[in-house]
Chain A
């Protein structure tokens, strides 16, 4: 096989699951990524992002389900040079300079890009002669990017543009900046999947918790900036697209409202809100053993 075969079919994950001991890292994931698409797997720590990407790259074996990378199993796609990436965990190599590390990565691929071009493109050229062990965080990130880019693989497991890209992040801003499509993952499942703008609005939303007995939740749901209202005994949870407008409306229309709490900001909480009810309160969240 060579890079000359045009890979088709994109990346398809079906009913993928994986446990580490008692920890269910990935419960069941179905996902189809079209060639050329840039997809961010977004989720809190322990959501199953890393495990999912490991299975796509052939670094972890699924307990059940399948992964197809351009029509091939991950191992075959990797051997053909279709897959590339620089793992976040990958520390630099001792006794090698930046230029040498990138040249080394290039040597593994059938049709690499010129090392000098990649160094220049990624801004790593200025420190190409430095040992890979003596880099700042930003420089290391550039080197990672250069190393992922230089093999010119068809699937990249790192943020970037051009080819099919799949990357994991727990920063909404990062997902929004690089991806066309965001797949929200929590507790090893896909809980939302759509264009970046849409998911950003949902995941970035705030929630208002208010104690307001005996009020019709439909009235609360109709307030400006409120997406939905849910009653939990005397308390009501308002999921908001605009929490400021919702708060003004709430205080204006319902003077009896008390114990008002505006929650959100943190992605973790947004996830918990989004997944609340999907599982019982005692359910454990998945871990990501490293």
Chain B
């Protein structure tokens, strides 16, 4: 069940929020150039540093884009719009589907800009590699999209920014998104491999070798997504009955 008008206005509301869009798209770009410019001839972990860091910053930007519907959910909730929607025939899943699509529509240009930035510093991949990397990144964003929506239903508007931002930064840190790994072996490394952001970072490397994640990557992403969906559903029901 879709509602084109609903989806269209979700996108319109996102695009008209210039500050949000500007920061979401520009911040990872700025970080990328700031760090990768000086090391554009270096290699890291067997691959060129600009490629490695492009993937990292693409992941960083896309993670923030993915959780972004959460802030809209929180504002709609505090403003009473969620309750208003509840007395229209619009199904909750249609509303959530529109938010998921919107999240990806913000994540895609964010990725595209980082790819262009990577190319400008000499990153060269063939068409299959670009596509495989993008596919893996989009799949790996799923738990973050759900996390953002759940957060929007659970957390008060003024606390949501720091809460969601903090969680994303934590995931980025543990997953090795900032360009360094907390560990390369031992129990900490096992923890890293159990967070979805680690697999987002691996997407670039994996694609470079021509291929997909090992089974563990898919299992981690699927498990996080499956675990977060009921949390979001519960949060939605709680928010809608008495907001």
Contact = CB atoms under 8 A, between A and B. Distances in A.
A108 B79 contact: no
B87 A104 contact: no
Interface residues of B, number: 26
B14 to A, nearest CB: 8
A33 interface: no
B79 A93 contact: yes
B87 A80 contact: no
Interface string A1-40: 0000000000000000000100000000000000000000
A85 B84 CA distance: 8
Interface in A75-95: 78-81, 83-87, 89-95
Q: Looking at chain A's contact residues, is the secondary structure mostly helix, strand, loop, or mixed?
A: loop
A164 to B, nearest CB: 15
Interface stretch (B4-12, B166-174, B210-218): B4-12
A271 B129 CA distance: 74
B5 A103 contact: yes
B83 A108 contact: no
B13 A93 contact: yes
B185 interface: no
A108 B81 contact: no
Contact of A78 (B9, B12, B80, B88): B88
Given A78-B86, A87-B84, A151-B88, A60 B6 contact: no
Nearest to B4: A107
Contacts of A140: none
Contact of A90 (B6, B80, B240): B80
A81 B87 CA distance: 9
Contact of B9 (A59, A81, A104): A104
Interface string B201-224: 000000000000000000000000
Q: Looking at chain B's contact residues, is the secondary structure mostly helix, strand, loop, or mixed?
A: helix
Interface in B69-96: 75-76, 79-81, 83-91
The size bracket of the interface on A is 35 or more
A108 B16 contact: no
Contacts of A107: 3-6
A110 interface: yes
B9 A96 contact: yes
Given A61-B241, A89-B83, A100-B9, A94 B89 contact: no
B184 interface: no
Interface string B7-38: 00100110011000000000000000000000
Interface of A: 20, 57-61, 78-81, 83-87, 89-96, 100, 103-110, 151, 157, 289
Given A61-B241, A85-B87, 7 more contacts: A20-B242, A78-B89, A84-B87, A96-B13, A100-B12, A104-B9, A108-B6
24 contacts: A20-B242, A57-B87, A59-B86, A60-B241, A78-B86, A79-B91, A84-B87, A87-B84, A87-B87, A89-B83, A90-B79, A90-B80, A91-B80, A91-B81, A94-B79, A95-B17, A96-B12, A96-B13, A104-B5, A106-B5, A107-B3, A108-B88, A108-B89, A151-B88
